[in-house]
Each structure stands twice: as C-alpha cells, then as structure tokens.
Amino acid sequence: MKKHLIYFITALAWINFSQSTLAQEPDSEAELSEEQKVDLLCGCVSTFMDDMHPQIQTMIRDMVAIGKEEAEQNFTEYLMEHPEEMEEILKDSKALENFDGSMANIEGCEDLNTILSDTKMEESSMTLEELEAEINSRDDCEFAAIFFRLGKQ
C-alpha cells in the first residue's frame, strides 16, 4: 500500500509540473506590467510551495538537479523511513494535483491563471524566453523557475 502511495505522489508531482497547467483561457481582465506579472507568478508559486511538506519541496528541486529517477528514489526512501508523515504528504500531493485551483485559493493569486493564459501571453511584450530569463535571474522565483524547466522537459 505504501509503495503504491509513493508512486502516486511522485507521478502526480511529475505529471503536474511537466505539463504546466497555468495557461488556461482567461476568465477576467487584469492589466499588469510585465514586471508585475513576474512578481505575481513568483510570489504565488513561492507562497504555494512554502506551504508544501519540506520533502515535496526537496523532491521537486531534485527532479531538476539530479533527475527524475534519483529524485523519486530519494523520495521513496524518505517515505519508507518516515511513514508517520505520509498523511501530511498525501494532503500536499492533492494540492499539487489541483495546482490551478490551489493557486486560485491563495489570497492575491486568484487571477494568476488569467494573467498567464495563452491569450494574455500572446498579447504580452515579453517573449517566453524573456520570461524564462527573468524568472531564472530572480532569487524569489526558485520554484517558478524549476516548474518552467520541468515543463520544458
């Protein structure tokens, strides 16, 4: 049972971030500068990830740093050694599963999906490459940068 749960959690994290789901069709109008959009993205993702179990944070960092397989192995080993944390990790994995909804539930992040929608990004003066460079250059964008990289894999 534990092994199935471990595979579920790691697969869930990988699938959700490799298929970046932030870009949905807009449902409200929000006029922000490019810098404000990056601020919002980084702030919302950081707030979301700050609430995640530390081992989920580590696994996501490891997916980029050491690769998916080794990250999953380390995560599995951690769960086997700390079964008492399984419930909290499962709760957080459900938040990852519903990434868009979870982001929309964070105060100030309700319009993030709209702001980063395909339509809005096409209207933006900032290219995807410029957005990636900006996110990568900022200390407050660690997880946004990681998710961007995972989404490109």
- Residues 85-144 have pLDDT tens digits of 999 999 998 998 888 888 888 988 888 877 766 566 667 777 778 888 989 999 999 999
Q: Is the pLDDT of residue 25 over 70?
A: no
Compute CA distances 147 → 5, 21, 79, 80, 87, whole Å.
Answer: 23, 10, 23, 26, 24
Q: Which two tokens stand for residue 11?
A: 């697969």
Q: Dump pLDDT digits (tens) for 66-98.
A: 999 999 999 999 999 999 999 999 999 899 888
Q: What is the pLDDT of residue 121?
A: 62
Tokens representing 23 are 């870009």
Q: What is the per-residue pLDDT for 110?
A: 84
pTM of the predicted structure, to 2 decimals: 0.74
26 vs 152, residue with greater confidence: 152
Residue 88 structure tokens? 């909290």
Domain ranges (residues) in the chain: 2-9+37-152
Say how far apart CA 35 and CA 104 lie, in whole Å.
20
